[in-house]
């Protein structure tokens, strides 16, 4: 249950630190965007999806369009996992 917290969260923080160092070095200035900000936004999206899934499991009413999006994300994860 806590594997995600023990292993996943620190690895995300390490990745953000590495992306910050890459951004700070200026090695990829030509890209025009920050890798660190992209990674942080991706993490926020992943956590938001996780929160919505947990709310759905607890029985909170979730609007149908959001349920459809969650179902498609779960389907993509299961296809990629195989």
Q: What is the pLDDT along the chain (82 residues), one digit of tens a residue?
A: 566 667 778 888 898 899 888 888 877 777 778 888 888 898 898 888 889 888 988 999 989 998 888 888 878 777 776 6
Residue with tokens 């594997």: 3
Q: What pLDDT does 82 receive?
A: 61
Name which of 4, 56, 60, 6 is nearest 73 in CA terms: 56
- Continuous H helices in the chain: 3, 9-25, 35-58, 64-81
Q: What pLDDT does 4 receive?
A: 64
CA distances (Å), origin 50, targets 6, 38, 58: 16, 18, 12
């Amino acid at each position: 249950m806590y594997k995600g917290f023990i292993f996943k969260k620190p690895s995300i923080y390490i990745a953000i630190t590495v992306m910050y160092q890459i951004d700070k070095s200026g090695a990829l200035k030509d890209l025009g965007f920050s890798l660190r900000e992209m990674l942080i936004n991706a993490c926020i999206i992943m956590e938001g999806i996780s929160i919505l899934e947990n709310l759905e499991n607890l029985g909170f009413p979730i609007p149908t369009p959001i349920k459809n999006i969650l179902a498609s994300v779960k389907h993509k994860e299961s296809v990629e996992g195989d």
